[in-house]
Structure 1
C-alpha cells in the first residue's frame, strides 16, 4: 500500500507555488501482502490487508487480524476511542508503543444485527501502510423482491496523514523519518438501490469530507454490479465524470435483505492536487421502510 503526503504539508506547498503545482508527491505503490479472501466473499482488492475483525456492538474492545510481512497475521486487541467516532460508527485504536504503527478501526452493526462491517488502517510508517475492510453477514439471509433502497452514513480512512492528536507522544529529538502517522477519517452519506428481480445494485457516496481538516472531497458513484444468490456483490467506483477510481463489494443480510454492508477501495486520482491518495471505507445500511432506516428514506416511495 502507498502512503500519501501530509495534507497540511500539501496545502502549504500549494500556497507557496501560486499558479500551478509542479511537485510530485508520494511513493510508488508496493503491495505488502496478498490477504486471504474473507468468509463473506469480499474480493481481495477491497479486503486489503484485513484478515478478520471480530466484535460485539458497543464492546470496549475488538479483535483485529492484519496480514503481516511474513505471510502470517498480526492479531491485536483494539480499545474504544470515542474521540474518533464518525456518525453511525464506533472507533477503536491500537498502538503498542510510540514508535510502532498507529491503527484506527471503525466498525458498525446494522439495526437488525444481520450485518457487521469494519474498516482498519494505520497512518503509515517507512513509506507504507496497512489497510482494508471486513464485511460479515450474520445469521439467515433471504433476498427481497423488486426494487428496494438503502441509506445511511459512510465511514472511511485515508492515507493522507491526520495531524496526529491520537498518537502516543515520542521523546524529544526523535528522528521524524521513523515516526508513525495517524490516518485521516472520511465521512459521507450513502444511498443504494438494489433490484432483486434483475439482481443488480448501484448507488452513490455523497457529502464526502476529510474529517480532520473539514475539507470536502468529490462524491463517488457505485456503478451497477451483480448480486449473487448468497447476497454478495461487487462492482467498480467512478467519479461524476465517469473516471474509474476504485472498487466496492459487500453482502446483504437478514430475512428479506433488511440490511446491507459493503467495503470500498478508492485508489485512483480522486482528490485534485494530491497524488498517491488511497482510501478504504465501509457502509452499513438499513433497508428503507425497516426499523432504524435513515431520514432520507422518507422520500422513497
Structure 2
C-alpha cells in the first residue's frame, strides 16, 4: 500500500450530510416487462440512500436524473449532463454544475447486462462549506425468481464517491477574484472489483471488494486502498439483503480488524433464477486501521451492479 500522499489528501475531507430512505427510488423507463415481481420491501436503507431519494437512468439514451440531492441544482429532480471523461469501467458518469461558484455534483449509474433487471446509482456533491451531500439507490424491475439450492458467484466492477477532492477537471472556472473559501471542489471517485457469493440453499450472501483505488487526487497520484469484506448476511424471500462492511483481515496481519464494522451494505437480486444483483455500500472510513494514509473523517458511498 502506498503512503505517499497523506498530506495531499487530508485537507480535502468534507463531512457528510443528508438522510431519508425511499421506496422504489429507481425509475428505469422501458425495463418493465409487464410482469409483477414478488412482494418485497424495496426500500433502500437510510444509511445507504442518505440524501438521494430517487434516480432515473436510461443507459440507452444516456440520460440520468437525480432527486433529493441537496445543492445539485435549482430544481428537484435535476437532469445531469453526460460526463464521458469521468466514466469508470462498467459505469456511466454524469455531472452538473450551475456556474463556477456553485457546487459540482457527480453521479454514476449502471444496469445489469443479462436482462437489465437491476440498476444502481450514486451521486455526491463536492465542497465548499465543510459538508458534502451524497447517497446511493438500487432497484429491481420485471419478474424475479429465487433459487432454493446452489451457490452462485457474481462478478463485476465497483465505483464510489468520496468526501475527498479530485483533480477537478470537470469544474467550471470560478469567477475572477472568488475567495478561496468559496471555490467549489469535485468529489474524488474510487473503483475496484467485486466478487459476491450467494448460497441460495442457506439463503446467505457475502463478498469482497478488491483492487480498490483512487486515481483522481489533485496531484494525479493513484492511491491504493484496503480491500473490503461484505460480511455474510441473510437473503430474504424477496431477494434483498443488508449487512455490514469490514476491512479484509489479510491486509492487516498486525491489526485486529475482524469484527469491526466500518460501514453498511445492502442490495437486491433480480432476474429469473437471480441472474443479477445490484447493491451499495456506505463507508465511515476507508484507509485502514490507525489511518495509515493520514486520513481522518473520510467517507465513501458506492455501488455495484453484477451478473453471474
In the aligned structure 2, how far is the partner of 1:35 from the partner of 1:167?
28
Gaps of 5+ in 1: 1-6, 15-23, 288-301
| Match among 118, 123, 130 for residue 127 of structure 1 | 130
**Residue equivalent to 2:230:** 222
TM-score, normalised by the number of residues in structure 1: 0.83
In the aligned structure 1, how far is the partner of 2:105 from the partner of 2:9?
27
Over 3 Å counting, the alpha-carbon distance change for 1:63 and 1:140 in structure 2 is same
In the aligned structure 1, how far is the partner of 2:51 from the partner of 2:133?
6
Equivalence map 1:156-235=2 (5 Å)? 156-212=160-216, 213-235=221-243
Is 1:148 the counterpart of 2:133? The answer is: no
| Match among 26, 30, 35 for residue 20 of structure 2 | 35
TM-score, normalised by the number of residues in structure 2: 0.81
- Bigger drift between 76-85 and 264-273 goes to 264-273
In the aligned structure 2, how far is the partner of 1:86 from the partner of 1:224?
27
Q: Decide whether the 8 Å contact of 2:9 with 2:165 is kept in 1.
A: no
Secondary structure at the counterpart of residue 101 of structure 2: coil
**Residue equivalent to 1:246:** 263
Q: Decide whether the 8 Å contact of 2:269 with 2:276 is kept in 1.
A: yes
Post-superposition, which runs of at least 4 consecutive aligned residues in structure 1 deviate over 3 A?
Answer: 7-10, 24-27
Equivalence map 1:103-122=2 (5 Å)? 103-111=105-113, 112-122=115-125
Alpha-carbon shift at residue 10 of structure 1 (Å): 4.3
In the aligned structure 1, how far is the partner of 2:210 from the partner of 2:102?
34
| Match among 58, 64, 67 for residue 56 of structure 1 | 58
Alpha-carbon shift at residue 26 of structure 1 (Å): 5.1
In the aligned structure 2, how far is the partner of 1:246 from the partner of 1:221?
10
Over 3 Å counting, the alpha-carbon distance change for 1:68 and 1:105 in structure 2 is closer
In the aligned structure 2, how far is the partner of 1:160 from the partner of 1:191?
26
In the aligned structure 2, how far is the partner of 1:176 from the partner of 1:136?
40
Alpha-carbon shift at residue 188 of structure 1 (Å): 0.2
Alpha-carbon shift at residue 67 of structure 1 (Å): 4.5
Equivalence map 1:57-96=2 (5 Å)? 57-68=59-70, 74-96=76-98
In the aligned structure 1, how far is the partner of 2:61 from the partner of 2:139?
17
Q: Decide whether the 8 Å contact of 1:35 with 1:67 is kept in 2.
A: no
- Show CA shifts across 1:2-33 (max 9, x none): xxxxx99843599xxxxxxxxx9857x5x644
**Residue equivalent to 2:297:** 276
- Show CA shifts across 1:130-154 (max 9, x none): 1010101011111123211100111
In the aligned structure 2, how far is the partner of 1:176 from the partner of 1:269?
28
In the aligned structure 1, how far is the partner of 2:17 from the partner of 2:8?
30
Alpha-carbon shift at residue 99 of structure 1 (Å): 1.2
